[in-house]
């Protein structure tokens, strides 16, 4: 028979005086059995002297409080993706057509772009016409018809461009890119 214990994590403040722990400050923790199972409480050194005498603890320990690291903002800003899209369209580099397409799909999911039309050209090329919801601008984007095997590499490239991180080398680097109608702002 197993027993599940729901013991709360280290607190951010002293359970007695409610002062917030500073980075690298010593704290004392105790575990005791309460009404709803094991209960944890954390104390500063000043309050611990009184607490240690007042109760019998199931378990106790001394630790050093460390502030949790600041979590980086991992959200991709809409304007950043849109700005990058506009830059890549202006560059008119056929090697970036997969990245341009993925950026358009991202902005479509964020409801900034709306797919208005998909055209099939006589040469088999598909062109997708997107409209910017706010400005009414139209973007004609060549659909690179990505394969699932290529998707991860393109997503990594998009992420690297958006975050400014160096892109991982890809298998297609240094290989010629077949010519295709370039993406254009109409």
pLDDT digit string, tens, across residues 8-57: 788 899 999 999 999 999 999 888 877 777 788 899 999 998 887 776 66
Q: E-assigned strands of 35-144?
A: 37-43, 59-64, 113-120, 126-132, 138-143
> Among all chains, which residue has been given the structure tokens 């603890």?
57
- Give the pLDDT confidence score for residue 172 in this predicted structure: 42
Distance CA 86, CA 80 (A): 10
What is the tally of helices (H) and strands (E) in the chain?
4, 7
- Give the pLDDT confidence score for residue 97 in this predicted structure: 92
Please check whether residue 152 is in contact with residue 164, taking contact to mean a CB–CB distance below 8 angstroms: no
Count of Cβ atoms closer than 10 Å to residue 2 Cβ: 3
- Give the pLDDT confidence score for residue 49 in this predicted structure: 84
Going from the C-alpha of 29 to that of each of 60, 120, 132, 169, the distances in angstroms are: 6, 68, 56, 48
Distance CA 160, CA 184 (A): 23
Q: Where are the domains of the chain?
A: 8-67, 78-168+180-185
The model carries a pTM of 0.49
- Give the pLDDT confidence score for residue 175 in this predicted structure: 42
Residues of the chain with pLDDT below 50 are 1-2, 169-186
Report which DSSP code applies to 55.
-
């Amino acid at each position: 028979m197993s027993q599940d214990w729901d013991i709360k994590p280290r607190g951010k403040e002293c359970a007695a005086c409610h002062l917030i722990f500073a980075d690298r400050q010593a704290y004392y923790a105790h575990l005791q059995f309460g009404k709803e199972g094991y209960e944890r409480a954390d104390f500063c050194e000043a309050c611990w002297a009184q607490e240690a005498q007042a109760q019998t603890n199931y378990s106790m320990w001394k630790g050093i409080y460390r502030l949790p690291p600041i979590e980086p903002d991992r959200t991709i800003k809409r304007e950043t993706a849109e700005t990058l899209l506009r830059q890549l369209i202006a560059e008119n580099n056929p090697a970036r057509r997969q990245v341009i397409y993925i950026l358009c799909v991202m902005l479509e999911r964020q409801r900034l772009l709306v797919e208005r039309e998909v055209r099939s050209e006589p040469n088999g090329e598909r062109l997708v016409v997107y409209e910017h919801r706010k400005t009414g601008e139209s973007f004609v984007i060549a659909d690179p018809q990505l394969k699932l095997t290529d998707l991860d590499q393109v997503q990594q490239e998009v992420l690297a461009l958006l975050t400014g991180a160096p892109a991982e080398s890809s298998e297609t680097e240094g290989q010629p890119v077949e010519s295709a109608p370039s993406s254009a702002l109409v």
